[in-house]
Structure 1
Amino acid sequence: MSVPVDELTTRARDVFRTIVEGYLQTGVPVGSKTIAAGGFGLSPASIRGVMADLEGLGLLTHPHTSAGRVPTETGLRLFVDAMMRTAEPTVEERAMIEGSTRGPVEDALAAASTTLSGLSACAGIVMVPGRELRLRQIAFVPLSPLQTLAVVVGMDGEVENRVVDLPAPIPSAALNEAGNFMTARLGGLTLGEAALRLAEEVRSGRAALDAAAQSLIERGMADWSRDGAQRPVLIVRGAANLIDDSAARDLDRVRQLLDEIEGAEEIARLLEGAREGAATKVFIGAENKLFALSGSSVIAAPYRGREGRVVGVVGVIGPTRLNYARVVPMVDLTAQALSQTFQRQAG
């Protein structure tokens, strides 16, 4: 249930804001006496009445061991969208973020993630622009009659091992022929480019290959080029920040969160949702199925390359009780700094 902020009275908004800000700062429920001591001019009994109304709207809840209140995920969403007063990064924080994004792109991405993690006390994440391996050498090693292992070496020295399923047994000689052909004729190309080159050579009759070798290459190239284009590349820094004093009381939640972070493809799908908007996006708890069990939040923003095209996403993963007012501007600034780095180096 979503509650428009203008449906709350001024008194209710003030009490609600105080509770949310107090909880995000301390991590403990906020009681009526604490609010009354803040100079509201209301008695604890009157404040409790307002708190009860807010709880009835689904914006607050109270742990059974405390008389104080904490915001629900619905309440946090209302606060972030309509009531939060952001705190711009300090001069020192701005200098750290902008300094981390200078230098070669790959270094800037890793450094930005590390810096954002350190400043936010969350796990920093960067979704890197997809890049396909450029082929230098390929060899096929038989595993079984219907499977072979492709050892793919990239121009940068990166090595990938991929299992290829075979429709029928292929002789060792055909495996060697396929590997030698790909190394000699497709070297220096991305997997996608190699697939197109191969199709052209087969059409023109220039690919003088054994039928079994040709089938193996075509099957491998189709799978690999599709995989290379879809596979997410994530940089995650500072996952240990998620294990704080409060987390020690809820180890199951922490284990669940760390397992979720290991699921790079799932996180990448979540971050794809941040590519579509111009502004920083906040995903709170169960709003996203991936983090529904661990009760975590994600703050993410797109960064852009040449002609303003979105090339990736940067952000943080943390508990729902994080300092949104401080971290949202940090993520936004990091995205802007990365955009400048990409545009500068693209030019």
Structure 2
Amino acid sequence: MRPAPPIAELSDRARDIFRRVVDGYLESGQPVGSKTLALSGLNLSPASIRGVLAQLETAGLLAAPHTSAGRMPTDLGLRLFVDGMMQTHEPTAEERQAIAARAGTAGPVEEALAATTAALSGLSACAGLVMVPKRETVLRSIGFVPLSPTQALCVLVGEDGNVENRVMDLPAGMSPVALMEAGNYVSARLSGLTLAEARARLDRELAGGRAALDGAARDLVERGLAVWSEDGERRPVLIVRGQGRLLDDAAAADLERVRELLDDLEGKQEVAALLDSARAGDATRIFIGAETRLFALSGSAVIARPFRGADGRVVGVVGVIGPTRLNYARVVPMVDFTAATLARLMG
């Protein structure tokens, strides 16, 4: 996509008309016609307005979706508006309180992140996104509870208090004593280590003959750690909340675009890669429509900002996704505030 022309290249008249078209489109989702502009307080005739609209269309800033249907901003036009003309509106006290309250959700940090993202989604009328790095589970204990002669429930307890369960197949003849021995070994020798560190220590102790485990218990510990390690590698790093908010009244006339967008959101790996590109620097990044291959078909926009932990390093990215006609002036400061809130949470 070609770059937007500098705002200084537009005449005062063209800037005024362009801003009114963008404001009208972002408010209604509909193209804005010359008659509407003539009634908006411009001291120009409809013919003069149409002439300026034609110039803006030639510059690639506006487009007419249908003959005599009025104009709407192109992705290039929205980029010019966002970068050079937009006047932001800070979140209200009520909006800030709603976001901060959800960030204080008790429990694992992932639940607070999800709750905060849901609050951002509700306030922005977009889908909320947050991407965090893969969190390595630190072991407190692993227990093996027999379910049948051939299956056991592997219960992992993390240092953060998070508890997860997995069903494991057992070799024939595995005794309850071996299950207990395996759990005791993990609690005594591997507690306080990440899964990767636990596997490395187990390998060293087995190689040095220092692991006080019989063959059956040793096999169970190895397989238990492997199950959890594989699960952690697959664990999504992207939390999406509020997809249903993308199905607004205006979307009913363009269900194919919405379907494309929801399909894009299902491809979490690509969305996470897009958010990851916003990690550099401190500024909010805005991706509009065809500027990104991912959302070229769905005509969507992403507003994203990184947030940092106590050590100053970027630990995640938060943002929203919605139609390109979203209220940038209101949503950009809302994303900024949410990023600052999550930075305090992660600190």
Partner of 1:88: 90
1:329: Cα distance to partner? 0.4
1:290: Cα distance to partner? 2.5
Q: Is the deviation greater in 77-86 or in 1-10?
A: 1-10
**Structure 2 residue runs without a partner (length 5+):** none
Which of 282, 292, 300 is matched with 1:296 structurally?
A: 300
Q: Which amino acid aligns with 1:58?
A: G
- Where do residues 1-347 of structure 1 align in structure 2 (5 Å cutoff)? 1-5=2-6, 6-104=8-106, 105-133=109-137, 134=139, 136-137=142-143, 153-155=155-157, 156-160=162-166, 183-187=183-187, 188=191, 189-207=193-211, 225=229, 228=232, 231-343=235-347
Q: Provide the aligned C-alpha RMSD in A.
A: 3.4
**Structure 1 residue runs without a partner (length 5+):** 142-148, 164-169
- The alignment's TM-score, normalised by the length of structure 1, stands at 0.81
Retained in 2: the 8 A contact 1:109–1:338? Answer: yes
1:13: Cα distance to partner? 1.8
1:70: Cα distance to partner? 0.6
Say if 1:20 and 1:185 are closer, same or farther in 2 by CA, change over 3 A: same
Secondary structure at the counterpart of residue 4 of structure 1 = coil
Retained in 2: the 8 A contact 1:274–1:302? Answer: yes
Q: Is the deviation greater in 305-314 or in 91-100?
A: 91-100
Retained in 1: the 8 A contact 2:182–2:218? Answer: no
Partner of 1:146: none
Secondary structure at the counterpart of residue 289 of structure 1 = coil
Q: Which amino acid aligns with 1:283?
A: F
Say if 1:326 and 1:153 are closer, same or farther in 2 by CA, change over 3 A: same
| % identical aligned pairs | 58
Instruction: Name the CA distance, whole Å, in 2 between partners of 1:333 and 1:159.
Output: 36
Secondary structure at the counterpart of residue 311 of structure 2 = helix
1:122: Cα distance to partner? 0.9
Retained in 1: the 8 A contact 2:57–2:63? Answer: yes
Instruction: Name the CA distance, whole Å, in 1 between partners of 2:21 and 2:167.
Output: 53
Instruction: Name the CA distance, whole Å, in 2 between partners of 1:9 and 1:179.
Output: 79
Say if 1:99 and 1:220 are closer, same or farther in 2 by CA, change over 3 A: closer
1:124: Cα distance to partner? 1.5
Q: How many matched pairs?
A: 331
1:117: Cα distance to partner? 1.1
Q: Is the deviation greater in 334-343 or in 255-264?
A: 255-264
Instruction: Name the CA distance, whole Å, in 2 between partners of 1:275 and 1:139.
Output: 42
Say if 1:317 and 1:50 are closer, same or farther in 2 by CA, change over 3 A: same
Instruction: Name the CA distance, whole Å, in 2 between partners of 1:254 and 1:236.
Output: 16
1:319: Cα distance to partner? 1.0
